[in-house]
Structure 1
C-alpha cells in the first residue's frame, strides 16, 4: 500500500506537452510538489508558440529520459498527453503506465473524452470548432476565443482530478488514471448554454443571447470604458453623468431586457455611445464614482500589472528572466489538526463522507462546492431569508448548484446563530464569498469557524483579495475583465474590446476554488494541519492571462494575438468560410503550411509560413468559399493538414455522440422545477477506478427545500423546527 506524502513532499513526473500540461505542472508545483520534467523530443517548439513556456517549465527539475523508470518508481503523480503538434511526440499509453505503477496517479490530458474523436488532434482551435464553442458568441459566424477556454479549463480540471485521486489514494493505497480533455475544459465554461430542460419556463430561457454587446464604449480620448448596471437607479445615474436628456424610470436598474435587440439588451447603446464619445474617460469615471455607478477603464494587456492590489496578492513572479503570473491560490493561514478518529468514507467517491457548508451566492463560490458535490461531498447551501439573487438566472444557478441541499436561516438572530453553530460543528469545509468584514460579523471567517470546528478547512471566494487597496471593493466579473485586459484580449489588438457572454471568471474562479479545497483536505489527511485558502475573481482573471510575460524593458508578450476578423491567430491557424459553412485549419508546421497552400492556391509556390499575413488570409478566404466544407476537409486531410468542421450547436453535438454520455460529459438530473435536466452537469473529469455517482442525482435545490430535514439531522425536534419556522428564523 502506498504511503501518502504531504503536499510539500509530493513527487510529480511531467511527460506532458503544450500549454495545458505546463499550466497543470505549474499549479502542482505552486501547491508544493516537486516536479521532474522529462521533455519529449521537439518540445522546444512550444517555447516559440508561447513566450511563457520557459517560465512555466522553470518551476520543474529537468530530468533525462534514461532516468524515467527510477523517477516513476518514486513518483506520486505522472502527467501525460497534452497539446498535439506535428513536431512533438505527444501521446503515451496512460493505462500501461498505471498498470506498471499501481500506486501512481496518472493524469492524462486528451483532446476529447474516450471514444468521442480518438484520432482528432488535441489543438485548442480545432476543439473550439468541433465542440461548437466557436459558434457561441455570434449567430452568423464562428469566433476564435483568444482566451483559450478549452486549454485553461483542461489545466484546472486536471489539477482537480489529480488532488481528488490523491485523496482517494490515502484511503485505498492505489493510484489510477485521471482523464481531463480539452472538450471538458470547453464544457466547463459553456454549461449554461449546453443545457436543456423537460419543462422549461421563462426563467430557464433567461440567458444572454448571441450577438449581444455589453456596455463597453469608446471615449473622446480614444480609450474605452465599461459600465455595470444592476444598482438602484442605475439607468438614471448613467444618463445623468453622460448628460442624456431622456425620460427614464427612476427605479430602472438596467436589468437585461429579454427579447430586446443586441444593441439594447444591456442598455440603449445607440443612445449611450455618442454621449460617451463626447467625454474623456477620466471625467466619466469620476462622475460615475460620485453617483455610485460601477464603471471601470478598459485597460490594455499589462497596464494593470503595476496596481498595488496585484502586489498585495503576490500574483506576479519572476521566472526565466521575465515577469509572469504566479500562484493564484492564496493561503491566509494554517492550524494543526487536533487528535481525531479516522476519516469515515461513506461511499466510493473521493469525497464521500465530507460535509461542505456553502454560504456563497451568485456563481464563483457556489460552483466550487458544486464540483465538490460531483466528487461525492454532501453540500449544504446556506442562504439568508432573502435568498440567493442568482436564483433569477436559472441556467447559471443550475450550473452552480446541482447536487446540493438547501437551508434558509436568519443567522443574525440568536436562534439562527445557534443553527449556524450546529451546522459548523459538523462541517469539514466551510466556504463563502462575503467580504472579509461581513464574514467576521456572521461568524464564518476562519477564526470563528476554527473556534467551533478546529479541523474544518475554509475557502473565501473574494472579488479582489483579503487585503490590499481594493479588498473591500465590490467585485463584478466585467469590471475585473476590463481592468486586467481580458476585454482587450477577447477583442484583439485590431478590433474594439469584447465581452464574452458567459461569466468565465466566475467559472474559472469556482474551479480553482475547488482545487484549493482539495489541497486543504489532502493536507489535513497527510500533514495533520488545516488550511484557510482564498481565491479571488482577480486571481482567476490573472490565471487566464498566464501566457503573458513582461520583459525587463516593460514589453508584453503572450500567445499569438487575434486577427482583425477574430477568426484566428495566423492564416495557417484560422477559421475559413466555405461555400456551405465554416472550417478550422491548424497548419502548425512549415510542411503543413506548404500543403495547405497547395490545396488552396495550387498555381503558386508557397512563401515561408512566417511571411503569411492578412492578405494571405484574405486570399485563402476567397478560395475556400469555392469549396464545399466536406470536400475541402477531405482535400486537406489528404494533404496531411489538420482541419475540422465548425459545428454550430454545442449541445446537439454532445447529444449526437454516445461517448458524451458514456464519459459523463452529458448527464441527466432530476430537478423538482424543470423535470429532467440534460447538460454538462456531472463530473468534468474521468477516473479509471473510482466510482463517481452520476445516475439518479438531484438537480438544484429549491429555496429552503431541505431546511426541515437538515434541522432534524442537527438534533432539532419537530416542535423546535415548527417554532423556528413560526418565528421566521428559518424558511
Structure 2
C-alpha cells in the first residue's frame, strides 16, 4: 500500500485549539508521521469531538516541557524530524530552546512553523492565540453584519481553520525550497494573517481610484437569504428571475409592485429584484424552491441545521464525510479529507492513546542530506510556472498565493475581462503578483497561444465548471496531451464526484449547507451569512496544498497529475466541532446567543461605557479570575467602566481581553505596528496609481516573499506574455486581428 505523498516525512506538533492540530492532521493524512506532544494532566479539550477529529491517527506523547529531562527528549526527537509545528509565543519558544536561531543551529534540516496570534514583529506578538481577541483588535467583528448595531461575535472560527491551511502551505513551500537550498527554516504564520486573507477583497486603498473601486462592497449590502412559507430559509446566489416560477410570479406582480418591493431594501449586486424575490419566495416551502432552482441552474441551498451535512449524498460520495471508529466517541461520522491527489490522502484510524515513549513508528523514507541543489535565498517557489485560468475568488486567490511564494503566474482572462472585474476592489484582492493576458478560450484562433502557455507551465489552476472546461479545451486530458508532466489543479463547488459534481456553487451556499448560517445568526434568530467569503478561501488554500503535494512528488518521480479541491469539501472540514453518531444524533456544540455577543459568559463581547470589549477566558484559572472580578452581574460590571479601565482591570487579573474596534475602515492601512509586521503591501498600479493592500501571509525569515507586483490591468502584459511563451510578432498580430486577444 502507498503510504502517501509525504511518507517518510516526520512531524512534531505541539499546539492546542484548532490551527496547529488541524495542520498536523493535513500532513498526517498526506502520509507524514505526526507525533503530537501533550502536556501532562487532563486538558479540557480532550474528550471533545473536535479533539478526536483533529488528532485522529497521530502518535500522542506526554511530555512536561518545563522539565529539563523531558525537554531534552523533545530535542532528541527534533534532531530526527523534518517539521515542527507549534503555537508558542516568541518568548515561550525561546525559553524552551525553540527559537529560530537555536533550532537552525541544532537542527538545520528542520522546517518550523509557529502559528501565533500576531506576527513576531507586531507589538502584540506575545499575545495568546485567541481568535476572537485577534478579530476584535483588527476590527473584523465590526465588519460582520448582525441583528443589532455594533460588533458581532463571529461564531465560526474561520481564522483558525485558515491559519491551519496557511501553515501546511508554508511547510510544503519550505520543504520544496529545502531541496534547493539544502536547509530547513521558518515557515511561520498567525491568526492575524489568516484573518486578514478575506479582507484582501475589502481593505485596500488607491491613489487614483475609479468610482467602482472607491465604493467597494460594504456590510449593508443585502444578502439573499429568504424565508420560505414553512419557516425555513434558503440562500440564493445571483438572480433567480429566469427560473419559471419566479419569472411567472414577477410577471403577475407587475412592474409597479415589483419596484415597490425592491424599494424596501438597498440595491443588491447579485439580485436586481431582491425585494420582489423575497416576497415571492415566501409563498412556497424551502425544499420546493431549491429543487426548482436546481432544475434550472440557479445556485441555491437551504440554510441547514449544523451537522445535517453529514447525511448529504454529495458529501459522502466524495469522501468529505467518513466513518471513524473512535475509542472515545464510538463509531461516528466525521469530516474526511478535503482534496484529492494521487496517491490520495487517507485516514489513519481514530484517536490513539497517549504514550510515554516518543518513538518513531515507521522507517524514514525521505532522508535529508543537506546538499544544496540550486541558488539559496530566493522566494520558496521561485522557478515554478503557473497558468491561472480561473475566475471569481477561489481560483484567483489560490494562484495569488503561489505568486506571493515566488512562482511566476500568468493570468488568462477573456478580452472582455474576468467576471469579477466589475467588483474592482474584490477583483484586485485576488490578483497581485501576476502577469495578465487576454485570450478567448475555445476559439480556434486561440489554440496556438493556449498550447504555448500549457507547454510553458508547470501547473495549470482553474475553477471553471468542468463541462465548460471541456468545451473550452482546458480539461485535464486535453492539456495533458500537450504537457504530460503538468500538475493540473481544479476547484469545483461540490466535489469531483456525485450527482452535484458539475453544479454551480458559491461560498454562501456552502455556509448554508454546512450549518454555519444558522449558527452565525444566533439562537432563535434568522440565519446570517458570514460575509468574509470563507468557503472560497478554504477551497483556495486546500487547492494550493494539494497542488504543492503533487509538485513535491513530481520533483521525485517526474510525473504530473490532476488534483482537486472544492468549496464543499473545504468548508465541511470546519464542521468537525461535532460528529454524527451512528444513530444520527449529533454531539453537542456551543451556540451563539440570540444577541450575537458570544457563546458563554467567559467567551463573549461586553459593552463598556464607551465601546465593546472582547473577553476570552478559556482556561479554568482565567474563568475563575473573571468571576472573582466581575461577579454574577457581569454586564453591569462592564457597563460601569470605560473600555480602557475594564481592560486594565482584566489584564491585571490575568483575563485575556481586547477592545473590539469599530469602523476600522482604512485604519488598518495606517497602523504602524501592522506595517512593521509585514501586514501591508504597496506597489504602483496601471490604473489606480499607488495601491495599498493586505500584505504577507507568512514569514519565512531568511527567504523573501514576492509582494512587489500590482494586480494586472486588463491585458496589461498580453504582448509580453505571448513573446515569453514563444509566439512571434506575426502570430500575435493574427490573434489581435481575430479578436482573441487585445492589442
TM-score normalised by the chain length of structure 2: 0.86
Provide the C-alpha distance between the structure 1 equivalents of 2:267 and 2:639, rounded to a whole number of angstroms.
Answer: 28
- 1:670 paired with 2:676, answer no
What residue number does 1:613 align with? Answer: none
The 1:30–1:558 alpha-carbon spacing in structure 2 relative to 1, beyond 3 Å, is farther
Residue pairs, 1:87-102, within 5 angstroms: 93-102=99-108
What residue number does 2:39 align with? Answer: 40
The 1:248–1:98 alpha-carbon spacing in structure 2 relative to 1, beyond 3 Å, is farther
**Any unmatched runs of 5+ in structure 2?**
64-69, 345-371
Asked whether the equivalents of residues 173 and 380 of structure 2 are also in contact (C-alpha less than 8 Å), the reply is: yes
What residue number does 1:63 align with? Answer: 61
Provide the C-alpha distance between the structure 1 equivalents of 2:373 and 2:497, rounded to a whole number of angstroms.
Answer: 34
Give, in angstroms, the shift of residue 248 of structure 1: 6.8
The 1:437–1:275 alpha-carbon spacing in structure 2 relative to 1, beyond 3 Å, is closer
What residue number does 1:54 align with? Answer: 52
Please, which of 699, 719, 728 is the counterpart of residue 730 of structure 2? 719
Q: What's the secondary structure of 1:422's corresponding residue?
A: helix
What residue number does 1:698 align with? Answer: 709
Provide the C-alpha distance between the structure 1 equivalents of 2:231 and 2:257, rounded to a whole number of angstroms.
Answer: 31
What residue number does 1:562 align with? Answer: 592
- 1:167 paired with 2:176, answer yes
Q: What's the secondary structure of 1:407's corresponding residue?
A: strand
Please, which of 237, 246, 251 is the counterpart of residue 238 of structure 1? 246
Give, in angstroms, the shift of residue 167 of structure 1: 0.7
What residue number does 1:607 align with? Answer: none
Asked whether the equivalents of residues 310 and 334 of structure 2 are also in contact (C-alpha less than 8 Å), the reply is: no
Residue pairs, 1:608-687, within 5 angstroms: 619-650=633-664, 652-680=666-694, 682-687=695-700
Q: Deviations over 1:428-474 (max 9, x none)?
A: 00111122233233332222222211222110111112221001211
Provide the C-alpha distance between the structure 1 equivalents of 2:374 and 2:456, rounded to a whole number of angstroms.
Answer: 13
Give, in angstroms, the shift of residue 332 of structure 1: 6.1
Asked whether the equivalents of residues 240 and 298 of structure 2 are also in contact (C-alpha less than 8 Å), the reply is: yes
Give, in angstroms, the shift of residue 567 of structure 1: 1.1
The 1:90–1:228 alpha-carbon spacing in structure 2 relative to 1, beyond 3 Å, is farther
- 1:180 paired with 2:189, answer yes
Q: Deviations over 1:200-231 (max 9, x none)?
A: 22211343322444121222322222222246
Please, which of 60, 75, 80 is the counterpart of residue 74 of structure 1? 80
Provide the C-alpha distance between the structure 2 equivalents of 1:685 and 1:327, rounded to a whole number of angstroms.
Answer: 24
Give, in angstroms, the shift of residue 719 of structure 1: 2.9
Asked whether the equivalents of residues 573 and 586 of structure 1 are also in contact (C-alpha less than 8 Å), the reply is: yes
Q: What's the secondary structure of 1:324's corresponding residue?
A: strand
Provide the C-alpha distance between the structure 2 equivalents of 1:476 and 1:416, rounded to a whole number of angstroms.
Answer: 29
The 1:17–1:291 alpha-carbon spacing in structure 2 relative to 1, beyond 3 Å, is closer
Q: Deviations over 1:134-181 (max 9, x none)?
A: 111149311111111221121111111101111110101111122110
The 1:17–1:287 alpha-carbon spacing in structure 2 relative to 1, beyond 3 Å, is closer
Give, in angstroms, the shift of residue 685 of structure 1: 0.7
What residue number does 1:299 align with? Answer: 304
Residue pairs, 1:92-491, within 5 angstroms: 93-116=99-122, 117-138=124-145, 140-230=149-239, 233=242, 238=246, 240-241=248-249, 245-247=253-255, 261=266, 273=278, 275-289=280-294, 293-319=298-324, 320=326, 321=330, 322-331=332-341, 348-491=378-521
Asked whether the equivalents of residues 429 and 693 of structure 2 are also in contact (C-alpha less than 8 Å), the reply is: no
TM-score normalised by the chain length of structure 1: 0.88
Asked whether the equivalents of residues 125 and 584 of structure 1 are also in contact (C-alpha less than 8 Å), the reply is: yes
Q: What's the secondary structure of 1:405's corresponding residue?
A: strand
Provide the C-alpha distance between the structure 2 equivalents of 1:570 and 1:94, rounded to a whole number of angstroms.
Answer: 37
Q: Deviations over 1:546-577 (max 9, x none)?
A: 32311233222365221111111101111001
- 1:16 paired with 2:15, answer yes
Structure 1 range deviating more: 198-207 or 513-522: 198-207
Provide the C-alpha distance between the structure 1 equivalents of 2:279 and 2:459, rounded to a whole number of angstroms.
Answer: 50
The 1:559–1:182 alpha-carbon spacing in structure 2 relative to 1, beyond 3 Å, is farther
Structure 1 range deviating more: 536-545 or 432-441: 432-441
The 1:493–1:266 alpha-carbon spacing in structure 2 relative to 1, beyond 3 Å, is farther
Asked whether the equivalents of residues 21 and 82 of structure 1 are also in contact (C-alpha less than 8 Å), the reply is: no
Provide the C-alpha distance between the structure 1 equivalents of 2:382 and 2:292, rounded to a whole number of angstroms.
Answer: 52
Give, in angstroms, the shift of residue 687 of structure 1: 0.5
Give, in angstroms, the shift of residue 400 of structure 1: 1.0
Asked whether the equivalents of residues 20 and 82 of structure 1 are also in contact (C-alpha less than 8 Å), the reply is: no
Provide the C-alpha distance between the structure 1 equivalents of 2:562 and 2:650, rounded to a whole number of angstroms.
Answer: 53
Q: Deviations over 1:65-102 (max 9, x none)?
A: 35423321221101111699x9xx99954543333211
**Any unmatched runs of 5+ in structure 1?**
335-341, 602-615
Asked whether the equivalents of residues 213 and 499 of structure 1 are also in contact (C-alpha less than 8 Å), the reply is: no
Q: What's the secondary structure of 2:235's corresponding residue?
A: strand
Give, in angstroms, the shift of residue 262 of structure 1: 8.0
Provide the C-alpha distance between the structure 2 equivalents of 1:138 and 1:202, rounded to a whole number of angstroms.
Answer: 24
Q: What's the secondary structure of 2:341's corresponding residue?
A: strand
The 1:530–1:546 alpha-carbon spacing in structure 2 relative to 1, beyond 3 Å, is farther
Q: What's the secondary structure of 1:416's corresponding residue?
A: helix
Asked whether the equivalents of residues 214 and 266 of structure 1 are also in contact (C-alpha less than 8 Å), the reply is: no
What residue number does 2:351 align with? Answer: none
Give, in angstroms, the shift of residue 194 of structure 1: 1.9
Provide the C-alpha distance between the structure 1 equivalents of 2:495 and 2:617, rounded to a whole number of angstroms.
Answer: 42
The 1:412–1:267 alpha-carbon spacing in structure 2 relative to 1, beyond 3 Å, is closer
Provide the C-alpha distance between the structure 2 equivalents of 1:240 and 1:58, rounded to a whole number of angstroms.
Answer: 52
What residue number does 1:523 align with? Answer: 553
Asked whether the equivalents of residues 149 and 189 of structure 1 are also in contact (C-alpha less than 8 Å), the reply is: no
Provide the C-alpha distance between the structure 1 equivalents of 2:580 and 2:104, rounded to a whole number of angstroms.
Answer: 39
- 1:572 paired with 2:586, answer no
Q: What's the secondary structure of 2:736's corresponding residue?
A: helix
Asked whether the equivalents of residues 358 and 382 of structure 1 are also in contact (C-alpha less than 8 Å), the reply is: yes
The 1:526–1:659 alpha-carbon spacing in structure 2 relative to 1, beyond 3 Å, is farther
The 1:333–1:178 alpha-carbon spacing in structure 2 relative to 1, beyond 3 Å, is closer
Q: What's the secondary structure of 2:213's corresponding residue?
A: coil
What residue number does 2:739 align with? Answer: 728
Asked whether the equivalents of residues 647 and 653 of structure 1 are also in contact (C-alpha less than 8 Å), the reply is: no
Tell me how large the CA RMSD over aligned residues is: 3.1
Q: What's the secondary structure of 2:219's corresponding residue?
A: coil
What residue number does 2:369 align with? Answer: none
Give, in angstroms, the shift of residue 497 of structure 1: 0.6
The 1:691–1:275 alpha-carbon spacing in structure 2 relative to 1, beyond 3 Å, is closer
What residue number does 1:512 align with? Answer: 542
Provide the C-alpha distance between the structure 1 equivalents of 2:255 and 2:318, rounded to a whole number of angstroms.
Answer: 44
